[in-house]
Amino acid sequence: EAVIHWFKRDLRTRDNTGLSLASKRAKEIGVGVIGVWILSPQDWEAHLVSPAKCDFELRSLAVLKKDLEDLDIPLYIEVVEERQQLPARLVELAENWGVKDFFCNIEYEVDELRREQKLVKMMLGKGIRFEPQHDDCVVTPGQLQTGAGRQYAVYSPWFRAWVAYLHAHPDVLTERHPPERNPPDFKQKFSSLFESAIPSAPSSKTLTSEMKKRLEKLWPAGEHAAVDRLQHFLTEKIGKYHATRNFPSKNSTARISVHHAAGTLAGRTSVRLARDVNSTKKLDGGIEGIKGWISEVAWRDFYRHVLVHWPYICMNKPFKFEYTNIEWEYSDEHFDAWARGQTGYPIVDAAMRSLNSTAYMHNRLRMVTASFLAKHLLLDWRLGEQYFISHLIDGDFSSNSGGWGFSSSTGVDPQPYFRVFNPWLQSSKFDEDGEFIRQWIPELASISGKGIHNPYETGGEAADVAKKNGYPKPIVEHRFARERCLSRYKAGIGRN
């Protein structure tokens, strides 16, 4: 009587593989499509999803519901308290509605794959065709292999293979057919399914009203906002991306990770639209900024491919086993200072305060703050990984895990362990005039000149201002921290 598409991390109608196939199948057998979205509060808890991201998803859901309704497609929404119950409930819904074809897009994390495996068995048992689709990556995991037939563990050769694959298979980037309008009698037949309300976030995931308002303004939700933002970036900014992307105060990146993470925009759509504005219509040539940006979007695919091939990274293990034995410091006080932006290193503090206030952090600063936690404070990188995922609006397991692995040198294709970012140098290079620091650290805003990067070391007026306004002294001394990091990492690796 109907075909289901189960929405998860794909909150859009446009360029959606599973939804497109569900619509095609429904047309073939002369029925309509029902969209389903299930909120599982336990999943949000277990995966430390940030309140900002929960709010963004719920806002995006409202947009999706409206877009589907314009096609007479209902979005049926339900809350299932116990996540173990989710597969059984989905089967029950399918049976109640006389559904024989059930579509969704695959999520590659271990919990999700196990859930889908369970669903395959249950659906088969009931004679329902369950059709999970590869959609989340531009190139499906498993398609790219080294000459020796293995998965790449280094980005650069992997990226060359990714580009070559897409040039050889241009259809992979083609936009998926949009869903069609449901048959005329559908709305009448399934009228109650159109009545689902958008649920509220569970109490543990609720934002203060001030934060909610701020995030609504900063991060408009839904697929139309995503495409608007992308188009703006492609017309106004992408040409200079290669030269400007590392400077946090320039606001020069696309700021669409939130849409990739919620699936309000497909990575495929981003790559295709960027390619289409390139002079050569290629992925790895032509305009520098476009080439550079596409290679950043590809990092998202790279980390997902890594996750698929080495799923143990979902279980709190570092990608590099030899880094399991580093002796970390355990200091709640230092962790707390890092989290609140009170370390006495202005660039680190400005970055952490920006995260706490906007649920986002610029990529360069993610690297600086992550390196600072793991190397300067010598705190277990997993603490930082968890803090990020539970505060970011664009929190995404594999990108976050990949970024933390890179910065703490424990991950795939990482920064070598002996490269310890000097936060002051990073600051004077990427925030030369201290504009970003001034924006986030009012205690230091009146310092003129270079002293803003390290007021206490600089001394004089800079130190006076910092002291007078209660800005903390560095909680760890830079040269000491660097030496301690090198010796602990070396000893940890040597212990294997």
Q: Which span (78-86, 292-300, 326-334, 445-453) binds ligand FAD, by CB under 6 A?
A: 292-300
To the query of whether residue 44 is one of the catalytic residues in this protein, the response is no
Shortest gap between Cβ of 255 and ligand FAD (angstroms)?
4
- Catalytic choice (44, 162, 219, 299): 299
User: Is 399 among the residues that bind ligand FAD (CB under 6 A)?
Assistant: yes
Is 328 annotated as catalytic?
yes
* Known catalytic membership, residue 6: no
> Binding ligand FAD by CB under 6 A: which of 300, 305, 334, 438?
300
- Beta-sheet strands, E only, within 239-315: none
Site pattern 337..376 for ligand FAD (x: CB under 6 A)? -------------------------xx--xx--x------
- List the beta bridge partners of residue 377: none
Residue 396's nearest CA partner among 7, 134, 9 is 9
Choice between 37 and 302, CB closer to ligand FAD: 302
Q: Which of 34, 280, 274, 42 is nearest to 173 (CA)?
A: 274
Interacting span for ligand FAD (CB under 6 A) from 19-27, 327-335, 386-394, 485-493: 386-394
Identify whether 400 is a catalytic site residue. Answer: no
236 is catalytic: no
One character per residue 237-256, x = contact with ligand FAD (rule: CB under 6 A): --------x-------xxxx
User: With binding defined as CB under 6 A, does residue 176 bind ligand FAD?
Assistant: no
Whether 440 is a known active-site residue: answer no
Could you tell me which residues are annotated as the binding site? 241, 253-257, 293, 296-303, 394-396
Q: Of 363, 422, 443, 457, which one is the catalytic site residue? A: 363
Interatomic CA distance for residues 171 and 464, integer angstroms: 62
Cβ proximity of 436 and 249 under 8 Å: yes
What DSSP assignment string belongs to 185-204? THHHHTGGGGGPPPPPPPGG
Given the complex with ligand FAD, which of 53 and 176 has the nearer CB atom? 53
Q: Which is nearer to ligand FAD, 102 or 152 (CB)?
A: 152
Closer residue to ligand FAD in complex, CB, 16/257: 257
Query: Of the listed 97, 404, 424, 440, which one is catalytic?
Result: 404
Residue positions forming the annotated binding site for FAD: 241, 253-257, 293, 296-303, 394-396
Q: Which CB atom, from 350 or from 466, has the smaller least distance to ligand FAD? A: 350
The helix (H) or strand (E) run that includes residue 36 is strand 32-39
Please, which residue, 5 or 304, has the CB nearer to ligand FAD?
Answer: 304
Asked if 66 contacts 223 with a C-beta cutoff of 8 angstroms, the reply is no
Strand ranges of the sheet holding 32-39, from the earlier edge strand across to the other edge = 75-79, 32-39, 2-6, 99-105, 129-133
Residue choice 402, 411, 451, 492 for contact with ligand FAD (CB under 6 A): 402
Contact 437, 350 (CB under 8 A): yes
Name residue 5's beta-bridge partners.
35, 103
Q: How far apart are CA 256 and CA 402, in angstroms?
A: 18
Of 69, 78, 296, 443, the catalytic one is: 296
CB contact at 8 A, 62 and 222: yes
Q: How far is CA 279 from CA 15, 161, 172, 174, 175, in A?
A: 24, 22, 20, 19, 20
Binding mask 405-444 for ligand FAD (x = CB under 6 A): --x-------------------------------------
d(CA 343, CA 145): 43
Tell me whether residue 261 or residue 476 sits nearer to ligand FAD (CB atom): 261
Single-letter residue type at 82: E
Site for ligand FAD in 97-156 (CB under 6 A): none
Cα distances (Å, whole numbers) of residue 468 to 6, 338, 366, 447 = 57, 21, 29, 12
- In 67-214, the DSSP E strands lie at 75-79, 99-105, 129-133
State how far the Cα of 147 lies from the Cα of 216, in Å rounded to an integer. Answer: 47
Residues annotated as catalytic are 296, 299, 328, 363, 381, 404
- Which residues are at the interface with ligand FAD (CB under 6 A)? 245, 253-257, 260-261, 296-297, 299-300, 303, 362-363, 366-367, 370, 388, 392, 394-396, 399-400, 402-404, 407
